[in-house]
Amino acid sequence: MARSLDIILFVLCLAILTPTLNANKLENNEYWTEQRPEFDSYWQERAKVAKQENKAAYFKDPYAISGNFTASISEIIAVKEKGRNLGGLKDDGTCLATNPIDRCWRCDPNWANNRQKLADCVQGFGRNTRGGQGGPIYVVTDPSDDDMMNPKPGTLRYAVTRNGSLWITFARSMAITLQQELIMSGDKTIDGRGVDVYISNGAGITIQFVKNVIIHGIKIYDIQVRDGGMIRDSEAHYGFRTKSDGDGISIFGASNVWIDHVSMRNCTDGLIDAIMGSTAITISNSHFTDHNEVMLFGASNDYSEDKIMQITLAFNHFGKRLVQRMPRARFGFVHCVNNDYTHWEMYAIGGSQNPTIISEGNRFIGPYNKMLGNDLINSKEITKREYTEESEWKTWQWRSINDEYINGAFFVQSGPELKDRPFSQKDMIKAKPGSFVGRLTRYSGNLRCRVGEPC
């Protein structure tokens, strides 16, 4: 009994918290109170199963996994430093893959006939994600989204609610406006390579209590709150959903999620939020702009089950007109490696409740000081500990290793130092890995791949 009521108890816990200062809906008690009716017996069962799966996806030694990923990057950089050609890379300009994830597939001129190979390329905490690999290809032919309960065959909503593994592609370029949140079932890949797929001006994507989802090569922007109603979430079930939260991608109690080469901007709530014990997630090669609260990992100070949250952010470009939360983390372990932080207004990386943050080989370009009325706004500090005294946060492990700081940006470190990181082998590379970030992230966001050519 206790277990099946976990969710409800969690919601009740939140309901008695005092309201926070944060605008994110997920941190808002009323939002949670409204969400309560959604957890019917079907979802409670799904939550139970997901909880086991999330536990199974958790890595007991996150330092080893993150160190392994770092090693694979420093290998590439070291080779580059010595001026040698890189294995797997062509020098004739036809294949421009610059990082270990891209190298794995982008140079293959036959990628379009070999789409499912992509699933072998993920690294970091999401490394076991295979999405729809092994399943049939499903081609979306119809951009409409008119029937929430019985989606028309050929639509994206039809595809993501089917049983079993499915690798979802698109017959042509299309703009899809989701009338309500798109609730995905597990073992799916959304693969927008070769065409332009825009998801915009409607609801966003929800990955709730499922595992094994890849989202690759699409653009998501101008996502809005939608009213909810009866929505199909799988072949065998539909149910009542309250208002969607306005996230671009909402990861809720899910594991093994890989988001790669996605461009995102201007959603009503977060661009990507991962909450409720979600884990084994990699967000890579993506491009983010025009947004206030970019990524929230863990929504509640009381939900310590978010300790199992393990997330890798790699080769992303945090770009123009971003304000804060890249990410804002609670409890979990975030490995932030080789991202390009070129714009933030308030801070880049923040959190509370003792999250572990390993920031490695990133480039941070601090914002210029600004006048706001009579006040001088100086936001050059990369980090922010929310609502916590230094006496408490000084033990949190937030380490910056081989990051590059530009224009006065600085990272306030705390907690135990990390030893034996591959990047720290000084004889291996002279330059800071952070100074390679421009190259490593050059192709972030949605790519324009042509069938029959390296991408």
User: Which residue in 31, 59, 71, 90 binds ligand NAG (CB under 6 A)?
Assistant: 71
Nearer to ligand NAG, 44 or 72 (CB): 72
User: Is residue 157 flagged as an active site residue?
Assistant: no
Which is catalytic among the residues 130, 226, 325, 399?
Answer: 325
The interface region with ligand NAG, picked from 68-76, 256-264, 274-282, 332-340 by CB under 6 A, is: 68-76
Nearer to ligand NAG, 268 or 316 (CB): 268
User: 3-state DSSP call for residue 399?
Assistant: strand
Instruction: Give the nearest distance from C-beta 108 to ligand NAG in angstroms.
Output: 21
Identify the residue whose tokens are 């017959």.
Answer: 171
User: Which residue in 20, 266, 388, 435 binds ligand NAG (CB under 6 A)?
Assistant: 266
Could you tell me whether strands 375-377 and 370-372 are parallel, antiparallel, or unpaired per DSSP bridges? antiparallel
Instruction: Give the nearest distance from C-beta 210 to ligand NAG in angstroms.
Output: 13
72 scored as a contact of ligand NAG (CB under 6 A): yes
d(Cα 76, Cα 102) in Å, to the nearest integer?
12
Instruction: Decide if 313 contacts 441 (C-beta within 8 A).
Output: no
Instruction: Decide if 335 contacts 359 (C-beta within 8 A).
Output: no
The interface region with ligand NAG, picked from 49-57, 67-75, 247-255, 377-385 by CB under 6 A, is: 67-75
**What is the distance of C-alpha 11 from the center of its chain?**
24
d(Cα 242, Cα 244) in Å, to the nearest integer?
6
Which residues, 231 to 250, sit near ligand NAG by CB under 6 A? 235-236
Q: 134's torsion region: left (phi>0), alpha (psi -120 to 50) or beta?
A: left
Nearer to ligand NAG, 127 or 384 (CB): 127
Token duo for residue 437: 């970030």
d(Cα 273, Cα 298) in Å, to the nearest integer?
8
Instruction: Decide if 183 contacts 231 (C-beta within 8 A).
Output: yes
d(Cα 144, Cα 101) in Å, to the nearest integer?
33
Amino acid identity for residue 392 in this structure: E
Buried b (16+ CB within 10 A) or exposed e, 221-234: bbbbbbebeebbbb
The interface region with ligand NAG, picked from 64-72, 143-151, 279-287, 395-403 by CB under 6 A, is: 64-72
Q: Which of 357, 340, 339, 309 is nearest to 126 (CA)?
A: 309
68 scored as a contact of ligand NAG (CB under 6 A): yes
Instruction: Give the nearest distance from C-beta 443 to ligand NAG in angstroms.
Output: 22
Nearer to ligand NAG, 268 or 278 (CB): 268
Instruction: Give the nearest distance from C-beta 79 to ligand NAG in angstroms.
Output: 13
User: 3-state DSSP call for residue 270?
Assistant: coil
User: Which residue in 150, 163, 369, 378 binds ligand NAG (CB under 6 A)?
Assistant: 163
Nearer to ligand NAG, 238 or 398 (CB): 238
224 scored as a contact of ligand NAG (CB under 6 A): yes
x-or-dash string of contact with ligand NAG, 273-312, rule CB under 6 A: -----------------x----------------------
Catalytic residues, by residue number, are 325
Which residues in this chain contact ligand NAG in the complex, by CB under 6 A? 68, 71-72, 163, 222, 224, 235-236, 266, 268, 290
